[in-house]
Amino acid sequence: MTEDIKKAAEALRRSKHAIAFTGAGISVESGVPAFRGSQGLWTKYDPQVLEINHFLENGGECWPAIKEIFYDHFGKARPNAAHLALARMEEAGILKCVVTQNIDNLHQRAGSRMVYEFHGNSSRLVCLRCGAAFASNKIDWTKLPPRCPNDKSVLKPDFIFFGEGIPPLAYQKSFENAAKCDVCLVVGSTGEVTPAAFVPVKAKETGAYIIEVNPDESRFTGSVTDLYLKGKAGEVLKAIERELFPDDKAGA
Ligand code: NAD
């Protein structure tokens, strides 16, 4: 593994346009469970609460589960060593952006600035009738469902539900970056959710070197991945950070 960490750091150091592509796995060490897998959220909740047509008809019924998953669980989470390592790489000019499937805001809270949120962000709620947006920390969570103060419509989290399209700008910027990157660091994603999973595929087609970090093999592992670093995101990215910035106190 040490040799592979050195290889990854060297590829990142030499890169001209490195990007990261992250999935739910990067936030697992922050206490945010993934959807899939034996510990995933779908072992406890019915994914139907996030289907757009179901939500539009039964928003009130969906909200207790949505609150529990996204505002009770996510609300307590803090960025972990993996989020911080990516922010440090961006600060040093190595990483050009993070394309994330996550909606937990943890990359931004760690200090990453160029973050393309492929699936939106849970820290905003929107009114589908009048378009007004509200910060989740300003919502009175004692009253469910949360309603728009203007027209009393049920609010929707500003991340995409099953059956909704990808936010156009995030989509465009993610694929633009994939089409010009020379290294793509894929962290904590099964590769099962499309079209997001096509971002590393696009990077590979471009000729990029694909480094994957995941304790378990994914759909990327046997297909696009060039260097597979088996392990938890926090541990592996911290090791790469130490290799890249040996003089950093935080990386020591
Ligand atoms: P996923 O839930 O399908 O899979 C999670 C992946 O993370 C798996 O491959 C698993 O092996 C890996 N993993 C588990 N622990 C890890 C660790 N400590 N370090 C690194 N990897 C680890 O995730 P996905 O492919 O990102 O797709 C799920 C969808 O669910 C995404 O579209 C995302 O929008 C959404 N989601 C987001 C969050 C979040 O914002 N934190 C949480 C749950 C789901």
* pLDDT single digits (tens) 134-180: 999 899 999 999 999 999 999 999 999 999 999 999 999 999 999 99
User: 82: which residues sit within 8 A by CB, 6+ positions away?
Assistant: 26, 29, 187, 188, 213, 233, 234, 236, 237, 238
| CA-closest residue to ligand 1 atom 11 | 216
- Ligand 1 shell residues, CB under 6 Å: 23-29, 32, 34-37, 40, 101-104, 119, 188-190, 192-193, 196, 213-216, 218, 232-233
User: Residue 25 C-alpha to ligand 1 middle, in angstroms?
Assistant: 4
- pLDDT tier at 235, thresholds 50, 70, 90: very high
Indicate whether 127 pLDDT > 50. yes
pTM score: 0.92
User: Residue 190 C-alpha to ligand 1 middle, in angstroms?
Assistant: 7
- pLDDT tier at 103, thresholds 50, 70, 90: very high
User: Residue 36 C-alpha to ligand 1 middle, in angstroms?
Assistant: 7
User: 195: which residues sit within 8 A by CB, 6+ positions away?
Assistant: 166, 171
Residue 201, pLDDT score: 98
Q: Are 246 and 43 in contact (CB under 8 A)?
A: no
Cis peptide before 145 (omega within 30 of 0): yes
Indicate whether 252 pLDDT > 60. no
Write the pLDDT tens digit of every residue in 187-208. 999 999 999 999 999 999 999 9
Active site residues: 119
User: Residue 162 C-alpha to ligand 1 middle, in angstroms?
Assistant: 16
| CA-closest residue to ligand 1 atom 31 | 101
| CA-closest residue to ligand 1 atom 15 | 25
Q: Determine what percent of the chain is predicted with pLDDT higher than 90.
A: 85
- pLDDT tier at 33, thresholds 50, 70, 90: confident
Cis peptide before 168 (omega within 30 of 0): no
| CA-closest residue to ligand 1 atom 13 | 25
Write the pLDDT tens digit of every residue in 223-232. 999 999 999 9
- The residue among 219, 214, 218 whose CA lies nearest residue 231 is 214
Ligand 1 pocket: which of 68, 103, 186 to mutate (most atoms <8 Å of CB)? Answer: 103
| Beta pairing class for 209-214 and 227-230 | parallel
